[in-house]
Structure 1
């Protein structure tokens, strides 16, 4: 690598770090990796890929992090002493990989457990405890609807001391909220959400996700003034970042519940492209379920509707004129297809039965 290319790559990484999470930051980081790869400088290649893992994760393009992380993991396992100064960042990135696995129905339970076992081995080698591993196993159980397993994993990780690889308190409370949701314990969900909603804790994804996750329990308890305020506040936080597709679906579902069709249709128009473009199928499923509910609601009174949907949409009409029944059918087919893939992975019917109450209420 020439000095100019090296300097350019370093500058791109520095500039990308100063940008908000999103596509521009990701593209700059990808270009930096391409420049670095011309060098054959393994240390810089390792560092740049760790930055790519982070940028891809927080831009909603986690699939672009997989190859980069695999490269780093392979290099670390081959020469752990050489890369020991990156150990913390690598092990932190492992959490992103298991989180991504939850989103992908093509990754089986057995494969998820294999990844978790590999994570356990590396964490123990580094002298860290398994708090994050049990937290991720809890999150997997939440996604499969297995409350008793989720509760047991929650208890396991909460008994362990926090160490440098523990998630922040805001993220942990946010994840724990979903366990309470499986049990239908709305008051506990809101108690866990309260520190984030009150502004006492925060991070890159909190209260962004918290504002979305609290809408269902608030609605179920009839606390609509609070729910409306959090819907407005939360949507402003996430509307420009596709990594929040799951939460975007929850906002749309709440607006359908409130019969605020115009606002819900605005979310559909603005963010359908995110759902079409993503590889995060659990998040996509959230969005498609909410969109199906919306089109069913619209179809109760209208047979046709004018919408500004993105050109990549398979049913795209330049005129913007759509038959509501046709849109209902399209989203119905997507919900059934994606939902069944998760059922097959999970070994139960949770995705197409009990889970739906969180979005269709």
Structure 2
């Protein structure tokens, strides 16, 4: 289907807000196709330049080869047309291409060397430093096993000036550390690498911390290795772009004696091998995972069953440790053989055999909260539970140990040891899931969601609670969990605004209704109405139109309100009255958005009456919002006197004039509409308003 130029440009703008993933990649490729078909050459160039960055920083760098090559060829044909603002970016992107191209064994090595030669020629022609050229020559040499040449390029780069085309203060040391580790120069690697952990680059600090893991372990710096793993993994665990760094963290689990942690990482991330970033990172992850699994098999657990979470709606079948170890070892060595055939040596096969057979190095460096010294940072109850987990584990009681982990996680959360509570509850959830203890796993997942929230990981908190609710089974719901309706309402609040938040609140409202909790039902329904985009929250009408929540939400609200109107609205002070007012207010917002201003006014008037019955001062903010909205609608309906009355009533509820910006604007417009200009000017002066504040505030729809 053909598209107009405006449609293509709109699609490109829309792609900016999409998360990295297949949908965004497809949108960019569609924009490029239509831009080419329409002859929008400059626009197509700009889109490809942007797409190169998106593809490179996701897990599809092969797509970046195509967009970069097209742009480079267009630039060389018509430098005057495409130069200027693109010169620096093209030279910068050369580094990405070289970094990626040698990671594909099907691409001849000559392609990488030709690219390096072209990069050097262009850098010299532009008067730029060769610092970045030497860095990438070293990376290619290290990857192909030419360690003497890698060392030579490292030494040359160290004495070459940096410039605006050099990598950042985190990425340069990361590549240097990679070379130094391959050369066995661990102390120097640590000295060069440690200052880079404070870099703010998008690739940092996860890259440098992952590179430092092996030298830390080999030099006996176990605590530093543990901290580097923690910092790195928090940054890489949600993005398959970091498959290579994840491989280094898996090897660390073997070297440091944390095989349980290694199994957890394999179960969580094995699905990333379904879309590996490059064959090199696929090979390294497979070999590192094989090392973990082989070590577990060696201690007599080859028949242990691994369970994998669903990814993109598909769940990998369960696997035995021994079988999966063989599968991944063969996969790694198969890819290594392809690299060796291209490179003309056995470097990668040798390296992958060493990786897949890796074992402990030095003293263990425990990661688990249940294996670390908690004396100085945990209460007596936590220490007692941790000791119990250790005893049960030693006795082979997996069920008891899993339950102990869950209890310890809850205690850590109560002690406000939030990071430790996250780790403990993650372990508890995984072990309880493995054992099929659904009720207890659900309770542990609720602890995990709260621990994430308290530890500042809000998105993961919402995901954990959503996972709990989506897997909810009435016959297995743990008695220790809050009622499902309360959890739905909690998740709606965590999600903020938008259709998903509204859907969770709507589910909560229905749950409260089934339980006979009328006030809670109305409160949740009011939140659903107000948090949905058409209810005046964040988002857009387009978001709302795309949501299937709205029709159900409005039908439910209308039915509830009709019921109340027929039976008589609640009277007197109480939670039901304020909650009903909230439903009326939220429903009025949707009526206003659909052009039913008079119906919206009627609902707001009823909400006002309900709130004015309340004697509690706590309803003042809610009443103020209703009055302000009522004043706006009265203005739009051409009734400035009623708008003035509502605005003055809203202002009377506020103690601080600086908080009364919108209320004062409504009053000013109402006064102007009825010709009271001097009084309007006085109100403006009292509230520090000027004509700029009035621009666009005329009582009409935005």
Normalising by structure 1, report the TM-score: 0.89
Unaligned runs of 5+ in 1: none
Instruction: State the distance in 1 between where 2:126 and 2:16 align.
Output: 28
- In the alignment, is residue 350 of structure 1 matched against residue 347 of structure 2? yes
Instruction: State the distance in 1 between where 2:154 and 2:333 align.
Output: 30
Of 219, 222, 238, the residue aligned with 1:221 is 219
SS at match of 2:234: helix
Q: What is the CA distance between 1:98 and its match in structure 2?
A: 0.5
Q: How does 1:119-198 map to 2 (within 5 A)?
A: 119-197=119-197
Q: Which residue of 1 aligns with 2:80?
A: 81
SS at match of 2:301: coil
Instruction: State the distance in 1 between where 2:353 and 2:211 align.
Output: 14
- Once the two structures are superposed, residues 228-284 of structure 1 have per-residue CA deviations (whole angstroms, 9 ceiling, x without a partner) of 111111100111111111110111111122332332122112222222312511111
Instruction: State the distance in 2 between where 1:282 and 1:14 align.
Output: 29
- In the alignment, is residue 323 of structure 1 matched against residue 320 of structure 2? yes
SS at match of 1:168: coil
Change (3 A) 1:259 1:242: same
* Residues 215, 227 of structure 1: 8 Å contact kept: yes
* Residues 288, 355 of structure 2: 8 Å contact kept: no
Q: What is the CA distance between 1:72 and its match in structure 2?
A: 0.6
Instruction: State the distance in 2 between where 1:106 and 1:138 align.
Output: 21
SS at match of 2:304: strand
Q: Which residue of 2 aligns with 1:242?
A: 240
Q: How does 1:105-120 map to 2 (within 5 A)?
A: 105-120=105-120
Q: Which runs of 4+ in 1 moved over 6 A?
A: none
Greater Cα radius of gyration, structure 1 or 2: 2
RMSD: 2.4
Q: Which residue of 1 aligns with 2:380?
A: none
Instruction: State the distance in 2 between where 1:211 and 1:338 align.
Output: 26
Instruction: State the distance in 2 between where 1:39 and 1:15 align.
Output: 24
Instruction: State the distance in 2 between where 1:355 and 1:187 align.
Output: 24
Q: Which residue of 2 aligns with 1:4?
A: 6
- Once the two structures are superposed, residues 100-129 of structure 1 have per-residue CA deviations (whole angstroms, 9 ceiling, x without a partner) of 112112223322211212222333333333
- Once the two structures are superposed, residues 138-168 of structure 1 have per-residue CA deviations (whole angstroms, 9 ceiling, x without a partner) of 0011112322211211233333322221211
Instruction: State the distance in 1 between where 2:245 and 2:220 align.
Output: 21
* Residues 5, 35 of structure 2: 8 Å contact kept: no
Q: Which residue of 1 aligns with 2:41?
A: 42
Normalising by structure 2, report the TM-score: 0.47
Q: Which one scores higher on RCO, CA 8 angstroms, separation ≥ 6?
A: 1
Unaligned runs of 5+ in 2: 360-702
Instruction: State the distance in 2 between where 1:352 and 1:13 align.
Output: 41
How many residue pairs are counted as aligned between the two chains? 351
Q: Which residue of 2 aligns with 1:303?
A: 302
Q: What is the CA distance between 1:68 and its match in structure 2?
A: 0.8
Q: What is the CA distance between 1:66 and its match in structure 2?
A: 1.2
Instruction: State the distance in 2 between where 1:310 and 1:167 align.
Output: 37
Instruction: State the distance in 2 between where 1:306 and 1:28 align.
Output: 40
- Once the two structures are superposed, residues 180-222 of structure 1 have per-residue CA deviations (whole angstroms, 9 ceiling, x without a partner) of 112211111111111123x2x3311121111111111111112
Q: Which residue of 2 aligns with 1:52?
A: 51
User: After the TM superposition, which of the residue ranges 206-215 and 112-121 deviates more from structure 2?
Assistant: 112-121
* Residues 247, 284 of structure 2: 8 Å contact kept: yes
* Residues 217, 256 of structure 2: 8 Å contact kept: no
Of 260, 263, 267, the residue aligned with 1:262 is 260
* Residues 29, 55 of structure 1: 8 Å contact kept: no
Of 328, 331, 336, the residue aligned with 1:334 is 331
* Residues 12, 32 of structure 1: 8 Å contact kept: no
* Residues 94, 119 of structure 2: 8 Å contact kept: yes
Instruction: State the distance in 2 between where 1:296 and 1:250 align.
Output: 16
* Residues 144, 350 of structure 1: 8 Å contact kept: yes
- In the alignment, is residue 96 of structure 1 matched against residue 93 of structure 2? no
- In the alignment, is residue 61 of structure 1 matched against residue 63 of structure 2? no
Q: What is the CA distance between 1:355 and its match in structure 2?
A: 6.4
Of 14, 17, 22, the residue aligned with 1:15 is 17
Change (3 A) 1:12 1:33: farther
* Residues 145, 182 of structure 1: 8 Å contact kept: no
User: After the TM superposition, which of the residue ranges 240-249 and 293-302 deviates more from structure 2?
Assistant: 293-302
* Residues 243, 277 of structure 2: 8 Å contact kept: no
Q: What is the CA distance between 1:24 and its match in structure 2?
A: 6.1
Instruction: State the distance in 1 between where 2:123 and 2:15 align.
Output: 28
